[in-house]
Copies of this chain bind each other. A is one copy, B any other.
């Protein structure tokens, strides 16, 4: 398709004036003779010229545009929530988003940053699809940038991430609150990755136990992989113990889903026999399980909003050291947590 629109050079030629004059008319500047202005405007009308945003951009030096660059991933169910949150805040400030998915390709990433800078973006949101340390294109230092769900080794960019420790603590507190004392925890990745989502959520679990005076029992912890199969296998493994847990905290909703199948196979009901808390609040999983899963929501939309808000309100170069913001992962109460069986309710039994 690609319709060729008249440029201001076409207008200038047809009106027999210079480009500068057309620019002054477009920008409503004073130093243009009235007859010339009328002539230029009439030619614009004839040629169907529609003053574009580009003219305003050049005049004001502002693109009213933010770049939104995702560093990878495809199949993530969360990318859209991030974009939505960012877009909502941008729209309030009359800005638009240019979205690029670099899909894990370093060259695409470098090129994307160069393109965004050439487009004159007022800032760039660089979003990872899971919370981890990243190495970003150097050119990001040339433009205000906020990292989302990730951070650089030396923390030289503003960054917003989920508060994994607090999320793990609150998930565990919810189970303790119902009298559970034998609470299993399946991490969402092996701990050797060092991923905050794996290490942090486990740390929160330990904090909550300590706070409640429940001794930490390593036999109740498994290192999962995040996927449903891992949840299924570890649930069966934990069920085989002499004194199986009465409650399970899974580092992902997908693992909780796998565990539901294991519980169904052995005839245990949720939450009558076992209680379950997940993590992620993943659409179509957490809300689709029977019973629907109580889980900790990853704050994707909130992180997207925070990133744009920071770009809009923090003077670039003055936000030093760059803020490293942690946002809470609120609990979403559904139907998978119940009272601990009386025999296990500790001091409440």
A contact residues vs B (CB 8 Å cutoff): 1-10, 18-21, 23-24, 27, 50, 52-55, 57-63, 68, 74-77, 79-81, 83-84, 87, 91, 96-101, 103, 108, 115, 117-120, 122-123, 143-144, 227-229, 232, 254, 257-258, 260-261, 264-265, 282-285, 288-290, 310-316, 319
Contact = CB atoms under 8 A, between A and B. Distances in A.
B81 A74 contact: yes
A232 B96 contact: no
B10 A228 contact: no
| Copies of this chain | 2
Contact of A53 (B4, B101, B120): B120
Given A1-B316, A101-B87, A80 B81 contact: no
A229 B289 CA distance: 8
Contact of A10 (B61, B84, B144): B61
Nearest to A97: B99
A151 to B, nearest CB: 18
Contact of A61 (B4, B229, B282, B288): B4
Contact of A62 (B2, B83, B100): B2
Contacts of A282: 284
Contacts of A258: 288, 290
A3 B232 contact: no
Interface centre among A6, A10, A57, A313 (most CB of B within 10 A): A57
A99 B83 contact: yes
